[in-house]
C-alpha cells in the first residue's frame, strides 16, 4: 500500500479469516511440533521487522530486507505473510498488545484503593513504553498511511489501554468523588462507546467525557514529547509529565494527595 497508488479511504482487506499468517482457527498454544516451529519463525520474522522499523521507519520496512536479515529467501516470507501489508498489520496488533500489556501490568501492581497511584502507574507505563518503542508507537499513533485501513482484528488490542483507564475511572466513581476536587460537568456530547469499554456503562456522560479528555491528554503529551514538539519548551519532561498527570487526575475526580489551591 505504501507503494501502491490507492486513493485516500480505500479499504485494503477485510479480515481474511484463513489467511496465511494466522494461527489455527481457535486459540491456545500450538499443538503439533510443526505448528510450534512455525509460530517461532513468525516471531523471528516479526522481531526482525520490528528492528527495521526502529532503524528506518515504517515506510522503509521491506519484505526482502527482513528476509535477508533472517538468511531466508524473500519468496520464503510468503509462507508466513501473504503480503507486506499483512506483516505490517501484525506489527500494529503486536504494538497495541505490547503497550496494553505494559499498562495492565504496571497498573495491576498498585493497591486497588490507591486510585491516583493506579492512574499514575498506567500513565507512566504508556510514556515509558512509547520512549522504548518510538517507531512502534508512531506506527500506531502517528499519521495514518493513506489507503491503509486497520482491519477488524486491530480493534480489540487497541482497546486495551482505554479499557484499563476506564476501569480506574469507574473505581474512582464508585469510591465517590473526593471533596475539594470537583469535576466540572461536560454536557451536550454524544458518546458512542463501543461495546469494548464496558466499565463505563452506567456512568454519567459528563464523567465519561472527562475520562476521554484524560485519555486524549495523556496520549497528546506523550506524542508531542516523542515527536519532538516539546524540544525547546520543557526541559525536564519527567517532572512536567508528573504535573500533567496530577492535573488530569483532578479532572477525572481522583484526589492527588497534594491539595489543589
Name the site residues for DNA (rule: CB under 7 A).
Answer: 3, 32-34, 37-38, 41, 61-65, 68, 71-80, 83-85
**229 is in the binding site of which of DNA, a copy of itself, none (Cβ under 5 to 8 A by kind)?**
a copy of itself
- At residue 218's C-alpha, the angle toward residues 202 and 127, to 5°, is 125
Among residues 80, 96, 116, 137, the one that binds a copy of itself under rule CB under 8 A: 137
**Separation of alpha carbons 126 and 114, rounded Å:** 19
- In angstroms, give the least distance from the CB of 226 to a copy of itself: 8
Closer to DNA by CB, 68 or 131: give it: 68
**Separation of alpha carbons 209 and 191, rounded Å:** 8
**135 is in the binding site of which of DNA, a copy of itself, none (Cβ under 5 to 8 A by kind)?**
a copy of itself
Question: Is residue 210 helix, strand or coil?
Answer: helix
End-to-end CA distance of the chain: 53
Among residues 7, 14, 17, 25, the one that binds a copy of itself under rule CB under 8 A: 7
- In angstroms, give the least distance from the CB of 79 to DNA: 5
Closer to a copy of itself by CB, 162 or 199: give it: 162
Which span (48-56, 72-80, 107-115, 169-177) binds a copy of itself, by CB under 8 A?
A: 48-56
Asked if 209 and 169 count as a contact pair (C-beta separation under 8 A), the reply is no
Of 170, 31, 144, 20, the closest CA to residue 92 belongs to 144
- In angstroms, give the least distance from the CB of 66 to DNA: 8
Among residues 24, 76, 180, 220, the one that binds a copy of itself under rule CB under 8 A: 220
Asked if 163 and 197 count as a contact pair (C-beta separation under 8 A), the reply is yes
**Separation of alpha carbons 103 and 243, rounded Å:** 19
Asked if 115 and 172 count as a contact pair (C-beta separation under 8 A), the reply is yes
Which span (12-20, 42-50, 106-114, 141-149) binds a copy of itself, by CB under 8 A?
A: 141-149
* Total chain residues near a copy of itself (CB under 8 A): 68
Closer to a copy of itself by CB, 173 or 221: give it: 221
- At residue 180's C-alpha, the angle toward residues 174 and 184, to 5°, is 70
The count of residues in the chain is 261
| CA atoms in the 13 A half-sphere facing the CB of 7 | 0
Name the site residues for a copy of itself (rule: CB under 8 A).
Answer: 2-3, 5-8, 54-60, 134-135, 137-139, 141-147, 150, 162, 182, 184-194, 197, 209, 212-213, 216-217, 219-221, 223-224, 227-230, 232-236, 239-240, 243-244, 247, 250-251, 260-261
Amino acid at each position: 500500500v505504501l507503494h501502491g497508488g490507492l486513493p485516500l479511504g480505500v479499504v485494503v482487506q477485510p479480515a481474511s479469516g484463513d489467511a496465511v499468517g494466522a494461527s489455527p482457527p481457535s486459540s491456545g498454544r500450538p499443538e503439533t511440533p510443526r505448528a510450534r516451529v512455525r509460530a517461532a519463525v513468525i516471531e523471528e520474522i516479526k522481531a526482525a521487522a520490528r528492528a527495521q522499523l526502529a532503524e528506518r521507519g515504517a515506510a522503509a520496512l521491506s519484505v526482502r530486507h527482513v528476509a535477508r536479515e533472517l538468511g531466508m529467501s524473500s519468496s520464503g516470507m510468503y509462507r508466513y505473510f501473504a503480503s507486506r501489508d499483512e506483516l505490517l498489520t501484525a506489527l500494529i496488533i503486536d504494538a497495541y498488545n505490547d503497550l496494553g500489556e505494559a499498562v495492565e501490568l504496571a497498573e495491576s501492581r498498585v493497591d486497588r484503593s490507591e486510585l491516583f497511584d493506579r492512574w499514575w502507574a498506567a500513565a507512566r507505563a504508556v510514556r515509558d513504553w512509547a520512549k522504548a518503542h518510538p517507531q512502534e508507537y508512531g506506527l500506531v499513533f502517528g499519521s495514518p498511511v493513506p489507503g491503509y485501513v486497520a482491519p477488524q482484528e486491530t480493534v480489540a488490542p487497541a482497546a486495551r489501554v482505554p479499557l484499563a483507564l476506564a476501569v480506574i475511572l469507574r473505581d474512582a466513581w464508585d469510591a465517590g468523588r473526593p471533596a475539594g476536587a470537583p469535576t466540572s460537568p461536560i454536557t451536550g456530547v454524544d458518546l458512542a462507546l463501543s461495546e469494548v469499554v464496558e466499565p463505563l456503562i452506567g456512568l454519567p456522560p459528563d464523567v465519561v467525557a472527562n475520562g476521554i479528555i484524560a485519555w486524549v491528554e495523556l496520549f497528546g503529551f506523550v506524542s508531542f514529547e516523542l515527536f519532538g514538539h516539546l524540544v525547546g519548551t520543557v526541559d525536564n519532561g519527567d517532572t512536567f509529565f508528573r504535573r500533567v498527570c496530577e492535573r488530569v487526575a483532578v479532572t477525572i475526580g481522583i484526589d492527588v494527595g497534594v491539595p489543589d489551591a
